[in-house]
Amino acid sequence: MRRIPGLVPAVLALLLVAHAPGPAAAAPEGQLSWGVHVTLAPTWLDPAETPGIITPFMLYYALHDAMVKPMPGVARAPSLAESWTVSADGLVYEFVLRKGARFHNGDPVTAEDVKFSFERYRGTSARLIKDRVAAVEAPDGGRVRFRMKQPWPDFLTFYSSATGAGWIVPKKYVEKVGDEGYKKSPVGAGPYRFVSFTPGVELVLEAFDQYWRKTPSVKRLVFKVIPDESTRLAALKRGEVDIAYSIRGALAEELRRTPGLTLSPAVIQAPLWLYFADQWDP
């Protein structure tokens, strides 16, 4: 397998699940091991606690699914929501859920799960987005309606990519196991299901054969925690990992000269804000 170090985690995750629906494919096989440059936090298994950094999305794209999310070549790709409309006055966003989408425990994804996930969200920009939403309604199992307090053109940006508010978890399961129990054994609706997590060591996921988009071609994903850059490179050279992130400087040049390895540049998309002191009252 070709080893591709240095890519941004979220970009690799996007490529991993970027499959269009089609005829039944061969059963998933093999294992892909990633040498991760940071320690994986248990909170990263729960979209409700999304921090203001891009790194956790490498897990979200594998373990979870969102109503709408960025995909290769598409800024807002329909996912658990197969379509949506915005009222002429900009006050109502209505989403139609995808039929047949299921969580890893077999439960169908419903409007109540979407409503619950939004109301439970407490991660980055939670106050900002919730202060602008007057109500979330689930008129039936297949539709969700967001009512704004006033027109907010940035709603879809925050709901689909700038926060974790649009990533959906199963209401009944979370209420059964609690927040801490969910972090220990998360159930999502993504292409990979949770197998095991050893804090500070590794996270193991396995292909979910009922994923609505397409069953992944790789059966098992292993995220290995290797914070030291030289150790990551050594693991890559020995074949202990297939992908390693954040190989820079002299180590990157060493990697570039190593037969069988490929160095790819990171391409990062991120929102930036510029604040001026005179915008605010003293």
Token match 């490179």: residue? 233
Q: What is the pLDDT of residue 194?
A: 98
Band (pLDDT 50/70/90 cuts) for residue 73 is: confident
Mean pLDDT within 20-47: 84
Contact yes or no for 205/63 (Cβ under 8 A)? yes
Of 190, 179, 213, whose CA–CA distance to 25 is shortest? 213
Q: Token pair for residue 211?
A: 């994923």
Does 265 or 151 have the greater pLDDT score?
151
Query: 131 with 150: CB under 8 angstroms?
Result: no
- If one looks up domain 9-256 in CATH, what number appears? 3.40.190.10
pLDDT in tens, 132-190: 999 999 999 999 999 999 999 999 999 998 899 999 999 999 999 999 999 999 999 99
133-140 vs 143-148, strand pairing mode: antiparallel
Q: What is the DSSP letter of 45?
A: G
- Segment 42-63 shows an average pLDDT of 93
Q: Where are the domains of the chain?
A: 9-256
Amino acid at site 25 = A
What average pLDDT does the chain have?
Answer: 89
Give the separation between CA 101 and CA 96, rounded to whole angstroms.
12
**Per-residue pLDDT, 282:** 59
